[in-house]
Structure 1
C-alpha cells in the first residue's frame, strides 16, 4: 500500500527522534519514497547522515542552504508529498503550527503542503497535559490534522506516564491505514483465526496446521479500512495488528462462546479459523503413560461453530473458508449451503503456495448463486482486500 508513495518525515528536537530512524527504515522496506526534514535541534539527537543513508535522499535542515535542485526546496517537498509525518512532534512544533508560525524548513513545509499531515507527539507528561498544549492539539484536529495517540510508559525524564511517542511499528501501521478508503467505517467485523487445540492430558493436545496468517491479514486490512475489528484467535506465533480487539481462545467451544459474546451487534463474521471438529471424550488428569499395547482414545463431536451462527445470522454477512485436498469446488459449495455463508473462499492446500503457514494463497471464491471466481497466487494481504471488497459490496 505504501509502494511508490512519497512520505515526508519531519523530525523535531526530542529524544524520541531516535525511534524515527526505525520508522524511516520500515517505510523504505515497504518501498515508499522517503524524504526527511530535520529541525536544527533534532540534529543534536540524530545525525542527518543517518536519515540520509536510510532514506537514500538528501536531508533538509536549513531553509537557506545551497539548494540541491532548481526548485524552491520547501515548496517542492510540500507539493511532492503524498503524506507528511511529524515525529517526534514536540510541544514547540505543535504550538508553532497551531498558531501559523513558519520560521524553519519543517514548519514552512507543513504550511505549504496540501497533503495529509499526521503528528506523533512525544513529550513529558506535564507538558502533554498542559492546557495550552491540549488547546493547540484540539485546534489542529479541528483544522483536519491527525494525531497518533501517545503511549503510557517510562519517559526520558525518568517519570512514568502519558506522552511517550507511539512505537515505530504503530506509526507505520497508522501511515499504511491512511491510504485506504474507509469503506468499513462504523462496521463491526468479527474475524476468527488460527487453529483450536483440544487437550488429551496435562502435557499433550491435538491441533491442526493452521497458522492464522489469513485471519490476521483480514483483521489488519479490515482495521485499515476503518472497521471496528474483533479478532478471535486460537494459539499462533503471530503479533496481532494494532488497533484491533483481540480475544485469545484455545478450544473450539471457547471459540463459539467468544463469538457469541460479540455477535449481536456485529455486521460481519468472517470464519477464517480452523476449529477442530472432534475432542477427546475424557481428558486425563494425569499424563498418559506409554504402554505395551496400542493407545485407543474415544472422540466426540465438537459443536459446529459455523453452522450454529449460520442459523441465527439474519441480515449479517457471513464468510466461510474451505481448505480441501480434493473435489474442492464440490465440497466448498456443499459447505456454503449447509452453513449459510454469503460466500466461501476455497483453497486446495496440496498446491504449492496455497498450503498452511505460507504467506500466499491460491483460491476460488464461490457466491450463493454458484458463481466461481478463480484467483491466482497472491499474498494473503492482497487476498484479504479482495475478500473485504466483496463484503463491502454486500453491505452496500
Structure 2
C-alpha cells in the first residue's frame, strides 16, 4: 500500500515540480562581449571585432540574407550588419530593434531605421521617442549587392531596462527586401514575432553601474528620458526621477509624464506644491482624463490621478499616487499638509481622506475617512 502511494506521488508530484522549475528557469542568454576599441563606421563587418554573431532566418519570398555582429564598449552598444540582396533598391531598409522583455508586459522596445541615405525616422508606431532617435548614429554603405550598416546605440538611447535583474535583451535586425519599385517589402529578420529564437543577449552589469544612478529601493526598471532618468515600479507614475539639472516643478512634470494636466482646467483644487513641516517641497503632477469634462455628466471610465514627488536638487521620489477626480469621490476641493505632516484631501462627494508622512512617503490613515 505504501509503495503504491509513493508511486502515485511520484507520478503526480514530480511532473508538477519539474513544471514549476521549468517556468521559473531564466531565459538562456549570451553575454554581449566588451570590445577593446569601437568598430570603424566604414567597411561593414570587416572592422567589427566582436565574436558575437547573428544571422537572418529563412524568409519565404526573399532571396536576401544578412550576417550581423553585436558588441559593447564603454557606454555604447554597437550593431554591425552586412545584408546581401540580388536586387538592392532605394526602398530596401535595415532596422535595429532593442527590447528588454523582463521590464514588464506593457513596455516596448525602440527601433531605428536605416536606408541608402542613412538614418530614417522610425515613425510614431515604433514607440521610439525623438530624443532616442537623435542619439543613435549609423553609417550605411553599398558595395555591389551588399548593404552594410554599423550603428552606435548609447545607453541613453536604450529603452526601459531592468534596474537590478540581468540586462537580458532581444536585438532584432530586420531587412525589408523590396524587389521592385512600389513592391511590397518582405521582412528578413533574425527574430520571430519580435523575439530572438533560442538564446537572448545580455549586457554586462558594468553598463548599469557606470551610470552611477541611485534609484529608490522599490525601483525595478530604469528608463532614459530626454532630460534625465526615470525609475519604475508597478504603479503608473515613476517611483523615482533624476534630472540632468536641478528639478523645478515644471521640469519635473516634463520629465515624469508625457503630458500633465493643469488643476484649474479640470476644476480640482490641488496646489502646484505643498511643503512638509521641515520645509521640503512636494510637487504635484496630474495626469489622466477629466471625468467631468462634459457639463452635468461624469464618465466612470475616466479619472484624474495625482503623483506627489519629494524634490531634492536633481532627484525626485514619489511620495504618493492617488486619484483627485473620479465619479465615486467627486473632485478634490482642497488639499493641505498640516504642521505634523498629515495630508488631507477633501472631495466634492463628501469624502475626506488623510495620509500620514512616513519619512519618505505618505501612508493612508483611517482618521477622517467618510
Q: Under a length normalisation based on structure 1, what TM-score does the superposition of the two structures give?
A: 0.25
Greater helix fraction, Structure 1 or Structure 2 = 1
What's the TM-score once normalised by structure 2's chain length?
A: 0.26
More strand by share: 2
